[in-house]
């Protein structure tokens, strides 16, 4: 079972005061903490320590957080790492860009340590629950293996980032049931994680690009369903 003591967290920010604040609170809670001052250094440190969670600023010198996230997601070792952006930029376009790059969450500054710790605990709980769901879903020409986070379409193996995989497997577990964006946000990201409804649309589009357009159907004005009709 995932706990704080078994979680590795990489803190990436060019503001030493924020790094010190987060490192202090996370270490006190039992997390194993590494730090980096920019996106380029974050990639180097991540390859060394293999963190479970990366808390990363967006605006940084050398390599910004969006670019660093995109590069990490392209590496096989970090497809399922939780990447949470920390930023003072609260505009919606910044949030959409973050999720387009592969982020799991988006937290605006100033950071409230207790709220952040609660959010990390929620990720640990969901990871633990998913570890217990050792089953394979076979549906509509797809085989969705929850153990390996892999999707097979015939003989082709399709590897999805963690949130895309969770979204697909959640919909496929109850085929033809329509879920609203709010229901999908609550079940995939959790009640204690703030993301906009557009996040679901971004992830659905990415899943469709990889597995085909026909599996997930949009129900206009309502939400989405895994389609077997």
Beta-sheet pairing, 179-180 with 53-57:
unpaired
Structural domain containing residue 87: 4-130
- Structural domain count of the chain: 2
CATH number, position 215: 1.10.10.10
pLDDT tens-place string over residues 189-203: 876 555 667 888 999
Q: Do residues 83 and 103 make contact, with C-beta atoms less than 8 angstroms apart?
A: yes
Domain end marker among 103, 130, 157: 130
Question: Per 3-state DSSP, what percentage of the chain is helix, strand, and coil (rounded to 5)?
Answer: 45, 20, 30
126 in the same domain as 80: yes
Cα angle 7, 13, 16 (rounded to 5 degrees) comes to 105
140 in the same domain as 125: no
This model's pTM is above 0.75 = no
Beta-sheet pairing, 179-180 with 136-139:
unpaired
Note the maximum CA span of the chain.
Answer: 55
Domain end marker among 76, 111, 130: 130
pLDDT tens-place string over residues 146-191: 877 889 998 899 988 888 999 999 999 888 889 999 889 888 887 6
pLDDT value at residue 1: 44
Domain end marker among 130, 155, 186: 130
pLDDT tens-place string over residues 30-68: 999 999 999 999 999 999 999 999 999 999 999 999 999
């Amino acid at each position: 079972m995932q706990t704080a003591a078994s979680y590795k967290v990489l803190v990436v920010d060019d503001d030493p005061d924020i790094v010190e604040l987060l490192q202090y609170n996370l270490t006190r809670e039992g997390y194993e903490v590494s730090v980096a001052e920019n996106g380029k250094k974050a990639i180097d440190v991540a390859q060394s320590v293999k963190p479970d969670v990366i808390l990363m600023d967006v605006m940084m010198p050398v390599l910004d957080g969006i670019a660093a996230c995109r590069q990490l997601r392209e590496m096989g070792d970090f497809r399922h790492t939780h990447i949470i952006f920390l930023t003072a930029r609260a505009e919606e376009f910044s949030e959409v860009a973050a999720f387009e790059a592969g982020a799991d969450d988006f937290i605006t500054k100033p950071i409230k340590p207790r709220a952040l710790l609660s959010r990390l605990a929620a990720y640990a709980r969901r990871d633990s629950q998913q570890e217990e769901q050792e089953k394979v879903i076979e549906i509509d020409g797809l085989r969705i293996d929850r153990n390996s986070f892999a999707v097979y379409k015939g003989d082709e193996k399709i590897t999805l980032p963690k949130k895309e995989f969770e979204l697909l497997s959640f919909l496929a577990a109850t085929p033809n049931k329509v879920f609203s964006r709010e229901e999908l946000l609550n079940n995939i990201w959790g009640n204690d994680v703030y993301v906009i409804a557009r996040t679901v649309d971004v992830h659905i589009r990415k899943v469709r690009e990889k597995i085909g357009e026909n599996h997930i159907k949009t129900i206009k004005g309502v939400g989405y369903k895994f389609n077997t009709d």
